[in-house]
Amino acid sequence: MRDAPSDLVEAARAARRVVVLTGAGMSAESGIPTFRGTRSGLWERFDPMALASPSGWAADPELVWGWYLWRVGLVRAAQPNAGHVALAQWARSAPVRVVTQNVDDLHERAGSADVVHLHGSIMAFRCSECGAPYDSGLVVAAAAAASGRPALQVAPPRCRECTSGVVRPGVVWFGESLPLGAFEAAVAAVEEADLVLVVGTSGLVHPAAQLPMVARQVGAFVAEINPEPTQTSGLAHEVWRSTAASAIPALVHTLWTPPCKDTPLEGF
């Protein structure tokens, strides 16, 4: 386990409020590919706009639903990695809030209770007409049943409330606005934070990419965990070239003070 940078450890120990911004790199070590990486096999010949946009949905909802049903299966088969677990453990003893660009539920399954999903959730579903929520358990069951025989086109279920609309994923597609209140909640959290930790995100996707800039403007300590240089690197006070599953457990292990010298950190 690599030692955490001393400046980051000092900032984390002093912080009254911590915000952790996570991107695709956070989940990649759980086996969930990036958005473009999911276009493999059956899906490689399709343009992203055909699979994740209002126009794609209007043109062929069966194709879009088939793709998302397959992606739901990928998410459910994945498990939270050590980075997810460490964040949840950190939040048990410190005010740590997670703001994620990821649409999976790995943070929640690891135990994080305070998570803002900027781009919605692949495990949330709603009617495309009336907006009524739809039972995610039914979709997960359908994804499990189809896992051995994924299909290009699957008819989406009908809304049980209005009966006229069909059910769509609760994610943000190209050309759509962020979920109501999500970005405002993220900005408010960053403005109150003493430490903002940016993990596994390229810094290219807006408006999420603005959050580290907001953090700098309000005087928060900004640290980046990413194995590669990103658009955020130049803004950060501390850059740690490591992966989420390695760095976050190392940081939390350093911050955690065991009751006796030989007591291990639970979960590591």
Strands of the chain (E only): list them: 18-22, 96-100, 115-117, 120-127, 133-134, 167-171, 195-199, 221-225, 238-240
The pTM is what? 0.90
Are residues 234 and 114 part of one domain? Answer: yes
Q: Which domain holds residue 131?
A: 33-77+121-171
Q: How many domains does the chain have?
A: 2
Number of Cβ within 10 Å of residue 124's Cβ equals 17
**Residues annotated as part of the active site:** 119
What is the pLDDT at residue 256? 79
- Clarify whether residues 70 and 160 are in a common domain: yes
Chosen domain end from 156, 171, 186:
171
| Same domain membership, residue 126 and residue 41 | yes
Specify whether 238 is located in the same domain as 125. no
Boundary (domain end) residue, out of 171, 189, 213: 171
Give the CATH number for residue 84.
Answer: 3.40.50.1220
Q: Does a cis peptide bond (omega within 30 degrees of 0) precede residue 156? A: no
Residues 154 and 250 in one domain: no
Considering only CA atoms, give the Rg of the chain: 19
In this structure, are 18 and 37 located in the same domain?
no
Q: Are 60 and 87 in a shared domain?
A: no
Q: What is the CATH number of the domain that holds 150?
A: 3.30.1600.10
- Do 195 and 220 contact (CB within 8 A), yes or no? yes
Same domain, yes or no: 72 and 140: yes
Query: Do residues 171 and 122 lie in contact, with contact meaning Cβ atoms separated by under 8 Å?
Result: yes
Whether residues 24 and 56 fall in one domain: no
> Which two three-digit tokens encode residue 159?
């809304």
Ordered per-residue pLDDT tens for the chain, 268 residues:
568 999 999 999 999 999 999 999 999 999 987 665 554 554 567 888 899 999 999 999 999 999 999 999 989 999 999 999 999 999 999 999 999 999 999 999 999 999 999 999 999 999 999 999 999 999 999 999 887 776 889 999 999 999 999 999 999 999 999 987 999 999 999 999 999 999 999 999 999 999 999 999 999 999 999 999 999 999 999 999 999 999 999 999 999 755 344 444 444 3
The confidence score (pLDDT) of residue 179 equals 85
* Together in a domain, 97 and 222: yes
- How far is 210 from 37, CA to CA, in rounded Å? 25
Tell me, yes or no, whether 113 and 130 share the same domain.
no
Strand-by-strand arrangement of the 96-100 sheet? 115-117, 96-100, 18-22, 195-199, 221-225, 238-240
Tell me how far CA of residue 222 lies from CA of 41, 124, 239, in angstroms. 39, 31, 9
Note whether 235 and 128 are same-domain residues. Answer: no
The pLDDT assigned to 10 comes to 96
